[in-house]
Amino acid sequence: MVALVGAVIGFTYFGSPKFTDVGYRPEQPVQYSHKLHAGDLGIDCRYCHVGVELSSKAIIPPTQTCMNCHILIKPDSKLLEPVHESWGNNTAIEWIRVHKVPDYAFFDHSAHVTRGVGCASCHGRVDQMEEVMLVEPLSMGWCLDCHRNPDAHLRPLDKVTQMDWTAPENQLQLAEKIKKERHINPPTDCTGCHR
């Protein structure tokens, strides 16, 4: 009986997204440093991931977005050859999505961004990552924890994409104000995410 309980506990922990998914960092077709672009250069998330505040999905940027700068900046860089090839052939770069919610779950990116949930709450400090990796499990339990108590993740709308934003001492009061003003009452029943 002890072995069975141990096996169940072991499987529950080692089979959970927190253990199996966190740290996922696929090799991308182009070496792209979010630390350089979002961190050192301070490029806003929305420049590349257009429409995150309007769309249910955050897009992976098309080659055109890269070429807006790189047609002039480092056009001869060996690292940018796949970008120039994509541009010249009019084919998409096949980026590998890092943050993905399962198909059986509904997730509306804009509903979170327009309520004041900061990018770093789910994606981590992308501005410090050479290669983006999964820092949160994106599991049902993890989402429900936030839906039940979103206070720590709410911030002013003009600070949503600010990666280094730190909560003020009066965060709970700020969160109460934000929840009231923006009518925030996240669903915790099944139909909130499974439709």
Nearest to 113 by CA among 165, 162, 55, 53: 53
How many angstroms separate the CA atoms of 163 and 104, rounded? 30
Q: Which residues pair with 154 in a beta bridge?
A: 117
Q: What is the pLDDT of residues 128-166, one digit of tens each?
A: 999 999 999 999 999 999 999 999 999 999 999 999 999
Q: What is the pLDDT of residues 99-114, one digit of tens each?
A: 998 899 999 999 999 9
Buried b (16+ CB within 10 A) or exposed e, 33-68: ebbebbbeeebebbebbeebbeeeebeebebeebbe
Other Cβ atoms within 10 Å of 76 Cβ, number: 7
The model's pTM is: 0.86
Q: What is the pLDDT of residues 17-28, one digit of tens each?
A: 555 689 999 999
Q: Distance of CA 80 to CAs 35, 42, 60, 66, 87, Å?
A: 17, 20, 17, 9, 11
Percent of the chain with pLDDT over 70: 90
Mean pLDDT score of the chain: 92
